[in-house]
Amino acid sequence: MSYMIEGANGLSQLKDFRQCRSRSLHLILTGCICVALGLAAAVPSHAQGAPTRVTLEQAIDLALQHNPALVAERTLILQNQAQEITANLRPNPTLGADAQFLPFFNPSNFTSTYMDNSAQFDVGIGYLFERGKKRQHRLAAAKDQTSVTQAQVTDFERSLTFNVSQQFVAVLLAQATIDLAEKDVGSFKQTVDIGQAQYKAGAISEGDYLMIKLQLLQFQSDIAQAKLAKVTALATLHQFLGYATVPDDFDVDGTLTYEQLHSGLDTLKALALKTRPDLLAAQRNVTASISAEKLAEANGKVDVAGTVDYSHVSDANALSFFVSVPLPIFNKNQGEIARTKAVITQSQAQQTAASDQVLNDVLTAYETLHTNDQIIQLYQSGYLADSKTSLDISDYAYHRGATSLLDFLDAERTYRATQLAYLQSLAAYMTALEQLREAVGTRTLP
């Protein structure tokens, strides 16, 4: 009977041990899962997936949202708005108090009778009354300066947009160059294999075979250089977008394309004079200079300081009123008024210079785009097809012994140079189009 009881107790203890071990394993697994989830949350989401590919418009939006230099520039607007608050503040009133004829040297006289009949106590409130609407002019000048800063920040955005677009096109050109070189390597390897077979069969000399191999080396070198150019352009683009915005292995999404411009020069000039933020900043600076001159004139007006005092003297209570007005005999703020008038003349000249610069930028960008457009048209009119036909003829003739190796390699180099020049012309055209958008001040051209 005792053995049965002991056996039952043993089974019960074994069951409890298994349940305890099961609960421990469950807790351990739960902890591991929580740790894994915490580590996964600590890793940036963009680093967990495939490399991010961004289009041009996405790249511009990311730069306008996250570029550190632009974020710093935008704080200038907040600083100016804080200065508006300061400019609109009224003067603080002043509180004054004094006690006179206190018997410090005769302490025994510190009695209520002496304090009521012999000591004097004064409490007063003073306020500076500004004349000439100084506060209103201060606020107007501060708001005008904020408006200038807003236009300057917009102009910074314009320059940043062009820089992003320029680097984006540079990445596209590098990728197109890589694709072209890899395609040339793939097709030319067949020529190398044929040359090797001809060399072993004694159909060509070793020198001819080595010339073919060296041409392949040039293609492979071009691939390496194009990859380096792409890495460099991507790094610069990454800096414009902000390093925390996209992963390190991000890439661009797009191709070199030809987009014809339909707007005339006069239309673009008229649009630029309306939309260019640097010209708008110059125009607003004239307004701000006029506001500063009005503020200088207002500051030349004298202010009135008034004070009301309550006095307790010899058991008598009284009120006193004081008014203080400076006499504008010498200082009428005439120096600052003269300076602000000169600033108005300066800002007006700067506005004219900014307008001339806008027109010059549009003209230069338009002519650059027009020249690149003519080059694109030349290639598309038949030169690209002619270079491919010339290469096909040379390749057919060389493999049948109808032309020399030098002629074949020369046709190969001419074809590749023509294709590469066309890609570079496309990139130059796209860059010129972005430069025209920058010159006009908007990405939407009529």
Q: For residues 77-104, b (16+ Cβ closer than 10 Å) or e, as one string?
A: eeebeebbeebeeeeeeeeeeeeeeeee
Please give the backbone phi and psi of residue 11, each rounded to the nearest 5 degrees, phi first: -65, -40
Q: Find all residues with CB under 8 Å of 356, minimum gap 6, and list them.
A: none
pLDDT value at 214 more than 50 = yes
| pLDDT given at position 11 | 38
pLDDT of residue 14: 37
372-417 pLDDT per residue, tens: 999 999 988 877 777 777 777 777 776 676 666 667 667 777 888 8
Nearest-angstrom CA–CA distance, 19 and 388: 79
Q: Label residue 193 by pLDDT band (50, 70, 90).
A: low
| 9 vs 313, more confident | 313
Which pair of structure tokens corresponds to residue 281? 């900043």
CA distances from 205 to 200, 209, 312, 394 (A): 9, 6, 124, 19
Q: Are 444 and 161 in contact (CB under 8 A)?
A: no
Is 184's pLDDT higher than 60? yes
pLDDT of amino acid 220 = 82
Q: Is the pLDDT of residue 13 over 60?
A: no
**DSSP category for residue 133:** S
Structure confidence at residue 47 (pLDDT): 40
Percent of the chain with pLDDT over 90: 60
DSSP 8-state assignment for residue 49: S
What pLDDT digit, counting tens, does each position of 407-444 carry? 766 777 788 888 889 999 999 999 999 999 999 999 99
* Residue-level pLDDT at 5: 36
Number of alpha carbons in the 13 Å side-chain half-sphere of residue 17: 6
Q: How far apart are CA 334 and CA 337, in angstroms?
A: 5
Mean pLDDT along residues 135-142: 97
Position 229 pLDDT exceeds 90: yes
- The CATH number for 57-89+148-301+330-440, chosen from 3.40.640.10, 1.20.1600.10, 1.10.10.10, 3.40.50.10790, is 1.20.1600.10
Model confidence at 277, in pLDDT bands (50, 70, 90)?
A: very high
Cβ neighbours of residue 404 closer than 8 Å, sequence gap 6 or more: 398
Q: Which residue has the higher pLDDT, 264 or 42?
A: 264
Strands 251-252, 120-129: pairing is unpaired
| Mean of pLDDT values over 66-78 | 96
Residue 2 has pLDDT above 50, yes or no: no
In this predicted structure, which of 38-47, 118-127, 146-155, 249-258 has the lowest mean pLDDT? Answer: 38-47
What is the model's pLDDT at position 204?
67
Residue given tokens 């508006």 in the structure block: 84
Q: Band the pLDDT of 162: cuts 50, 70, 90.
A: very high
User: What confidence score (pLDDT) does residue 194 get?
Assistant: 62
Gap between the Cα atoms of 236 and 245, Å rounded: 14
Q: Given this model, what pLDDT does residue 446 score? A: 86
For residue range 285-332, what is the model confidence (pLDDT) as tens digits? 999 999 999 999 999 999 999 999 999 887 788 999 999 999 999 999
Q: What tokens were used for 306?
A: 């008034």
SS3 sequence of 374-426: HHHHHHHHHHHHHHHHHHHHHHHHHHCCCCCHHHHHHHHHHHHHHHHHHHHHH
Q: Which residues contact residue 336 at a Cβ distance below 8 angstroms, ignoring those fewer than 6 apart? A: 296, 299, 300
Q: How many residues does the chain have?
A: 446
